[in-house]
Chains A and B, each alone.
Chain A
Amino acid sequence: MELIIAIFIGLMFSCGVYLILRRSIVKVILGIFVLSNAANLIIFLAGGITKSEVAFIPHGEQTLDPALINDPVAQVLVIKSIVIGLGIAAYILALKYRYFEVTGTHDLDSLKNTDQR
């Protein structure tokens, strides 16, 4: 299972890199989304994939055998980074929309006015 997910992450990274090399800003933004999900999956995979219980201590007990549960920290980290990714996604799309309103273009090549020459 881990191998399959690892290969899948690799595929997602290559899709993301392909997309951020495109000329259209929208595709670049989509590439960022794909890449950020691939990075989240890496953390998810770091916790290990096992068939196990949810990491809750049952009612009335004090401890829980660690062998029974999956590593909850990795999942917490993934949730946090998904939430951050969501905020960034909302902002970047709003920025793109505003940029389109100001300039009327999707083309990355029209972004060279502020570059160093």
Chain B
Amino acid sequence: MILLAHILLPFTYILLALLIKKASIKSRLAVLFATFNLLWALALLPIVQFKDIIVVQVGGWAAPYGISLVADRFSVFMLIMTAIVFFLVTIYATQSVDKARRKSGHFFFTFGILMGVNGSFIAGDIFNLYVWYEVMLMSSFILMSLGGERAQMEGSIKYLILNLISALFFVSGVGLLYGNLGTLNMADLSAIISEKSHMLTHLNPALILMVVSFAIKGALVPFFFWLPASYHTPPPAVSALLAGLLTKVGIYSLIRFYTLFLYHDAPFWNQLILWMGVLSMVIGVFAASSQFDFRKILSFHIISQVGYVVIGLGFYTVSGIAAAIFFLAHNMLSKTNAFLVAGWVKRQKGTLNLKTLGEVYKESPVWGVLFFISAFSLAGLPPLSGFIGKYLIIKAGIEANYIVVALIALFVGLFTLFSMVKIWLEVFWKDVPKDRVVKIPEKKRKSQYMLTASIIMAILIVAMGLWAQPIVTYCEQAAVDLLNPELYIDRVLNFSR
């Protein structure tokens, strides 16, 4: 039952939010529930670390027939990072999002996203995973368009259509897989596939459909076009949440699928995944360097950084997957914080166009430092978390004899640094251009909660870099678990109570 709380907590908030009318009470309740969610996720950590994988068979039906919820080390780590990001973004949103949006259900739908994301991290059944995806996507569609500004409408139509196409791929894949093997429980599927190794090519159509769907959700090259077209349109608190959580779910599922099914046909998948990652890295960073909008640069960087995670998976060694998990967690924090700073700049200056901004550092050194920390963590400067993440990935690449890939990763890091310096110089450092008249809101609005959330996140980024050792050890244990799926299969299928 312990895992169900991750679904029931957000759901309880959703029910309560229907009854409450006042925006301020809704916000406070949201922070309260986000705290509960965080505490609950942390409570799971000692169980998976010292005891065993947590398995819950919903409704008491035995494994291949009922719905299994499974949490191993990797899932719990992702649950904790999600909870942290969600908690901080919720605090930030209580002040950043305008009252009309908060009143008409901003938190309602962010909790929908939380429910979907938590559900996808613990789903042990492919169809269940699809349902959580839909919960998450429906909420994100609505958040994307909530408010009804013109740019939002355009962004959400593109986001909607391309993500629906990815959902269609996924459903078709589920259908083909079920037709072939007659089960959708991931552990059961993995067991069947490892018994019948001759069926692999037979299953490839279904698996390719699903991997393409994950690649669309995870914004990998060549399926990323929806992301930079839509992530800069909603309110900043929304894009921070989406950037921090949604693409990571696609990548999580890819890692899960790879370590349970795809590795049986490694010669086919390994190179495909690896080079998809490399291309995402390179194309994302080049496209980011050419942009002139704060949030668009960050959006393209999501693509580039997802590529790093995927090449870590493509190495398929313990250190490679451990590096991928660490990098995923680091990226959730650093990327979200960069978006939070963008939200503050937008609130103060009313625009995020790099050409019209300037001198923000003079105005508020604190936010300057916060941006500095998250941006240079993304670029991979020591002692921040991004340095450890990139170091681990490049080291894993050299150990796995993918020297060229490791060198490309280093080279991409240089360009990441370039575009981060570009934002830093244009937004925070240079003088405000004289010829550009910008309408600045006269009354400076308060932003203490926004600041608190962003400071906590920056502290976490620094802490994750300085005290990386225990986290890396945990990630390595998680990677060992992932590389030996027998334990996972055994725990799910032989669950007895």
Is B165 an interface residue, CB under 8 A from the partner?
yes
A73 to B165: give the CA distance in the assembly, Å. 24
Residues of B within 8 A of A48 (CB): 179
Specify the main secondary structure of chain A where it touches its partner. Answer: helix
Q: What's the minimum C-beta distance from B199 to chain A, rounded to whole angstroms?
A: 15
Contact, CB under 8 Å: B178 / A43: yes
Per-residue interface assignment for chain A, residues 67 to 83, with 1 indicating a CB less than 8 Å from any chain B CB and 0 otherwise: 00001011001001100
Contact, CB under 8 Å: A113 / B151: yes
Specify the main secondary structure of chain B where it touches its partner. Answer: helix
Which of B26-34, B91-99, B229-237, B249-257 lies at the interface? B229-237
Given contacts A25-B157, A87-B138, A114-B154, contact A32 B164 (CB under 8 A): yes
Contact, CB under 8 Å: A32 / B161: yes
Is B421 an interface residue, CB under 8 A from the partner?
no
Per-residue interface assignment for chain A, residues 1 to 40, with 1 indicating a CB less than 8 Å from any chain B CB and 0 otherwise: 0000000000000000000100001001100100110111
A28, A32, A40: the one contacting B171 at CB < 8 Å is A40
Is B228 an interface residue, CB under 8 A from the partner?
yes
Contact, CB under 8 Å: A91 / B127: no
Per-residue interface assignment for chain A, residues 32 to 69, with 1 indicating a CB less than 8 Å from any chain B CB and 0 otherwise: 10011011101111111000000000000000000000
Is B382 an interface residue, CB under 8 A from the partner?
no
Q: Which of A25, A77, A113 has the most CB of B within 10 A?
A: A77
Contact, CB under 8 Å: B228 / A95: no
Contact, CB under 8 Å: A92 / B160: yes
Contact, CB under 8 Å: B158 / A81: no
Contact, CB under 8 Å: B161 / A28: yes
Closest residue on chain A to residue B160 by CB atoms: A92
A-B residue pairs, 4 tightest by C-beta: A46-B179, A42-B175, A43-B175, A39-B171
Other than A36-B171, A80-B127, A111-B154, give 20 A-B pairs with Cβ distance below 8 A: A20-B161, A35-B165, A36-B167, A39-B175, A42-B172, A42-B175, A47-B178, A81-B171, A84-B131, A87-B138, A88-B134, A92-B160, A95-B141, A95-B145, A98-B148, A99-B157, A114-B232, A115-B229, A116-B228, A116-B296
Q: B residues within 8 Å of A by Cβ?
A: 127, 130-131, 134, 138, 141-142, 145, 148, 150-151, 153-158, 160-161, 164-165, 167-168, 171-172, 174-176, 178-179, 182, 184, 228-230, 232-233, 287, 291, 296, 300
Q: Provide a sorted-by-A list of 10 A–B residue pairs whose CB atoms are within 8 angstroms.
A: A42-B172, A44-B175, A46-B175, A46-B178, A74-B178, A77-B174, A81-B130, A84-B134, A95-B141, A113-B150
